[in-house]
Amino acid sequence: MKMNRRFLLTILLLLLLPVIGRAQTRESLSLTPQMGWSSWNNFQGNINEDIIKSIADAMVASGLKDAGYTYINIDDCWHGKRDADGFIQADPKHFPHGIKALADYVHSRGLKLGIYSDAGSETCAGRPGSLGHEYQDALQYARWGIDYLKYDWCNTTNVNAQGAYQLMRDAIQAAGRPIFFSMCEWGDNHPWRWAKGIGDSWRIGPDIWCSFDSTHVFPTYIQCSIIDCINRNDSLRSYAGPGHWNDPDMLEVGNGLSVNQDRAHFTMWCMMASPLILGNDVRNMSDETKAILTNRDLIAIDQDKLGVQGLRFLIREGLEYWFKPLSNGDWAMTIFNPTRQSLSCSLNWQDFNLTDKEVSKRSTAFDQHVYKIKNLWTGRMEGKTTLKSKIERKVSVPAQDVITYRLIKQ
């Protein structure tokens, strides 16, 4: 009887090991916030396989791939019908060669392919949702070679959010392929409180739209401006970290904002350790847009292995002072001007002696340590901090723009 029990326990362990291994592998996908591109902000439902292929080509040719952008994500409207056995198929008109062939092409370019579904009966655009087909859909994605799943929250009346996302998480693990799991639940059920270990990232609010400071109000929903997203995310920093990220939504850089606004938008997403999912047409970028999106100094702030979301330490005379601790003892500092007029300030480093008690337990300690100052948008070194209280410099921050430093510990 004891031998039988040992034999059964051994068999059970052997069966469980692949599942455990898959879970560990999936978590390793999100040690830093994800970087890539999504079709929705620019193309919405007007997508097809040729567009996706051309975007993949442009990601490589433009240097975005080399800068770290990995995922090519197809958002809503790729779906066709389910087959006789219930397995989802691609829209045959717009994806005539199927998703597997498209995944093979994207992989051949050294990139990864993402896809979209919904926890409800239908997607937001009325295509088949995954409700009741979670294990089938996850298996289909694995067969196709999918690397990323954005999972939306439309048409979910009487569906329990935590249960629905955990169910799809389990289905992905059972399918046997590591797939990044991006939860798009809009923050309705406060996912930051329960989603760690379920999703790799979770949306913290409604959809973004291409506006710096104006909320878009509809009868039944809203779209958030960049400022809205920042303000919603600021209070949630204790929930973010390696393997689990707050997601204030995709980037609108290159979609019609001013260069100043684009620079501020990108900077604040990096300061908040947010996913960097591009939403512009990367086949037709201005030089200014490309320079912003490929700024390796800023990307390094976002991708820092310490994985701490930045904090808004001080608001004074219209300017916001943000700090983000970095893995090697450095700090990122951003002076953010959200207003519509240029503002100036006088910097005294002793005003910024702070301790991040909530997350990292790290202190700037400007009264004890000297830092070299690198301006991350000009690329220039701008001297050092000092240990005593005095006005170091006067700084002017243009309207809706930023000045960002890397403070390099000596």
Query: CA–CA separation, 10 vs 237, rounded Å?
Result: 42
| pLDDT in the model for residue 316 | 97
Query: CB count, 10 Å around CB of 43?
Result: 18
Known catalytic membership, residue 75: no
Task: Compute the distance between CA of residue 248 and CA of residue 357 in angstroms, rounded to an integer.
Answer: 23
Under DSSP, is residue 197 helix (H, G, I), strand (E, B) or coil?
coil
C-alpha count within 13 angstroms, C-beta hemisphere, residue 198: 18
Burial label for 104, CB within 10 Å (0-12, 13-18, 19+), is middle
Do the Cβ atoms of 397 and 326 come closer than 8 Å?
A: no
Q: Check pLDDT > 50 for residue 2.
A: no
Q: At a CB cut-off of 8 Å and minimum separation 6, what does 65 contact?
A: 59, 109, 110, 111
Phi, psi (5° rounding) for residue 100?
-60, -45
Mean pLDDT of 303-329: 97
- Strand 401-409 to 331-337 pairing: antiparallel
Q: List, for residues 179-190, the tens digit of each pLDDT value.
A: 999 999 999 999
Give yes or no: 207 in active site: yes
**Mean pLDDT, rounded, for 229-254:** 98
Name residue, tokens 């337990």.
Answer: 361
Instruction: Say what the pLDDT of residue 102 is.
Output: 98
Q: How much is the pLDDT for 242?
A: 97
Structure tokens at 323: 């700090």
- Which two structure tokens, joined as six digits, stand for 58? 């442009």
Nearest CA to 185 out of 225, 150, 141 is that of 150
Instruction: Assess whether pLDDT exceeds 60 at residue 3.
Output: no
Query: What are 315's strand-pairing partners?
Result: 320
Q: Is the pLDDT of residue 345 over 60?
A: yes
Which residues are CB-neighbours of 399 under 8 A, at least 6 positions away?
Answer: 260, 337, 339, 340, 341, 342, 343
User: Which two structure tokens, joined as six digits, stand for 237?
Assistant: 């920093």
Q: Tell me the residue ranges of DSSP E strands in 9-147.
A: 35-38, 71-73, 79-82, 88-90, 112-118
pLDDT band at residue 124 under the 50/70/90 scheme: very high
For residue 287, which phi and psi values (nearest 5 degrees)?
-60, -35
Residue 93 structure tokens: 């008109």
Residue 46 has pLDDT above 60, yes or no: yes
Count of beta carbons in the 10 Å neighbourhood of residue 16: 10
Cα dihedral sign, 405-407-408-410: positive
237 φ/ψ angles, rounded to the nearest 5 degrees: -65, -25
Catalytic pick among 76, 137, 200, 207: 207
Q: Which is more confidently placed, 62 or 388?
A: 62
Residue 33 is predicted with a pLDDT of: 98
Query: Residue 393 — pLDDT band, cuts 50, 70, 90?
Result: confident
Catalytic one among 75, 118, 147, 152? 152
CA distances to 159, 202, 205, 347, 403 from 119, in Å: 8, 14, 17, 49, 41
Nearest Cα residue to 284 out of 250, 251, 256: 256
- In the chain, what are the domains? 27-301 (3.20.20.70), 309-407 (2.60.40.1180)
Q: What is the mean pLDDT of the chain?
A: 94
